[in-house]
Amino acid sequence: MRQLIGLCLSASIVALWFTAAPCTASLDAGLVMTGGKVYTVVGDGWSSSPQEAIVIGLNGNILYVGTDAEAEKYKGGDALSVPLEGRAVLPGFTDTHCHPLEAMASQFSCQLFKEARADDFADELSRCAGEASKGTSWLLGAGHDINELLKDVAAGRMPVTVLDEKVSDRPAAMLEYQSHSAWLNSAALKEMGWESGGTPAGGVVQMSGGSPTGIVFENAVNMVFHKASGAIPADQTKEDLVEGLKPLSRAGITGIIDGRTYFSRQGNAEAWTSLKSEDRLPVRVVLTPWIHPEKEDDAQIAELKGYYSTGTGAEDLVRTLQVKIYSDGIIDQGTAALLSTYSAPAFSPDIIIVPAGTETSCEDGIDNDNNTLVDCLDPACSTSPSCGLNYFTKARLEKYIKALECDPGFDFHIHVIGDRACREALDAIQASNKCSGTKSPRHLLTHVWMVSDADVPRFGSLGVTADIQLQDEISELDEYNAAYQSLLATRSNNQASNNMFPVKRIADASGRVTLSSDYDVSPDPNPFIAIKRAVAEGQMTLEDAIEAHGREGAFAMRAEAVTGTLEVGKRGDIVVLDKDPFGVDTAQLDQIKALLTLLGGRQTHSQGGEFGSDVSIGTPLGSSSEGGMDGGAAGG
């Protein structure tokens, strides 16, 4: 608006301030998009009053949102006219938990697959054993399903033996598709010092008959791949990130929170800042330094403080505002932390057992002295088997939050799946410092599958965001609850296991909910997959679901001043859709595609030349000789 005032000197300043209409054609206009349904996502009930046009300035900011007639006044000069032909326009989506760099890890030489036992990989292991994984002396791969390998353990065919038969000359590690377990050969176990077993902080080395099976769980996996990753060339890491970001731009996503950023691995954080400096970054990103359970607390806290960065402000494309910490694991493996016991944890038969009558500092299933999994024989956890594990005990989690949330001002991005993990995280947040002003915390719990009824209202009262993924097909709730109920013992303390994905419960209790994809665990980051499921299951209205994948995510990213809604003065982060989400049946929502994605007015994706030419302020990056993003990238 200030730009318009400068251009229209003959007009009344007061009149200009209170209207969004221009007095003359503005030479500052870069894109004039007319004839559409422009959903601003401002306030409540916004879907009932779409606008016709949106104008983005040459500086990438939104100049005007309103009628076609008024938008016509912006045409001329350097402005590109874009007829929308009735198409729907929304603010660019946010994805508050995704892993684009991990999605394209080029060092994985072995390409495994789900629904296969260990011996089914013989041909692939023989093939990749002849290759060198980039930047490391290890042989690395990914893609199998832990549940299939556990069948081999139960049958007495140890996965370590199968891998040794194909790869015996060097350490080998295969990452399970959910990244919460890994399959190692004997050389890898020896490299880690686990050839006779071990108790890694926040992790499990599975044993059978006194020997390792070759399967490790949770933080043991992170320790393996931290060691194995080696010195991958920085340029390779950067190009992996380029490829990993393409599906996000194709999905209309313009803002993300990186699911975890390994600052201690060479080139990981630098890949983001390098793409930004080269004008090749197609999203706004909040980086989240990973907190390692195996590191000493005080030294790690000091290290983390050095990573905090607000960049140049809310408009900066790369900021380090959150830290990532895991409270627990996942239900499939019996490592999600529960308020009661599992019926069949995946890492049986050799759970660490504390004999009856032994004095321990066990709390809810965790030996707090060693931070390792035990069966406590504690009334809170019943007698057998286990009630899950923690990466960090509640006391350690509270210590980190108190040390980092006010100075320097980190928000916490906490992995919680089990109901006990959720409670402990909320307890730690409640007990932490009470920052105020701009540093008032915006902590986020991600995944949030199981929540005790007693903890549901605490999200709203503590100002904690519940970040939930409905991307996987198993999140169709009836199927999901049926599949996982067999893993959980009969529960008397609450009904959390019978009510997975508590989107509606938390929202109805005035809690803030965001939707995210967990890409690449979920292969397709299309926001309309989760939006459809939220609406179809009666968890959200369509308006609320779109807000949860956009406006609410911008708040979680501390970017609501520049993105998340279509308002004059905000950045031109928009997506043009092939169908109006308010004009199709719920069953068809996940078929909606992004035709055009803009970040600050810069094209990051264009579908099949729908608009006849590049729609961008400046040259779309996709036309550059470097061949970067899917159609372009962005200032910002």
Gap between the Cα atoms of 91 and 54, Å rounded? 11
Residues of the chain with pLDDT under 70: 1-27, 230-231, 341-386, 472-499, 609-613, 619-636
For residue 305, with 0-12 CB atoms within 10 Å meaning exposed, 13-18 middle and 19 or more buried, which class applies? middle
**DSSP secondary structure, 297-362, as one string:** HHHHHHHHHTT-B-TTSTT-SEEE-EEEEE----GGGT-S--SS-BSS-TT-S---BPPTT----E
Distances (CA, A) of 586 to 174, 507, 590: 39, 20, 8
| Alpha carbons 553 and 237: distance in angstroms, whole number | 27
Domains of the chain from N-terminus onward:
2-92+565-623 (2.30.40.10), 108-228 (3.10.310.70)
The pLDDT of residue 19? 32
Predicted local distance difference test score (pLDDT) of residue 127: 94
Reduced to 3 states (helix: H, G, I; strand: E, B; else coil), residue 469 is: strand
**For the stretch 81-98, what's the b/e string if a residue is b when 16 or more beta carbons lie within 10 angstroms of its beta carbon?**
ebebeebbbbbbbbbbbb
pLDDT at 487: 54
Query: What are the tens digits of pLDDT across the range 34-64?
Result: 999 999 999 999 999 999 999 999 999 999 9
Place of tokens 């008959």: 209
Give the pLDDT of residue 484: 59
Q: What is the pLDDT of residue 520?
A: 87
Beta pairing, strands 574-577 & 594-599: antiparallel
CB neighbour list of residue 323: distance below 8 Å, 6 or more residues apart:
288, 289, 290, 291, 304, 400, 404, 410, 411, 412, 413
| Tokens matching residue 308 | 């905090």
Whole-number Å distance between alpha carbons of 614 and 82:
10
pLDDT at position 601? 95
For 518-576, write each residue's pLDDT tens digit.
998 888 999 999 999 999 989 999 999 999 999 999 999 999 999 999 999 999 999 99
According to the model, what pLDDT value does residue 619 have?
A: 64
pLDDT for the residue 480: 56
The pTM for the full model equals: 0.88
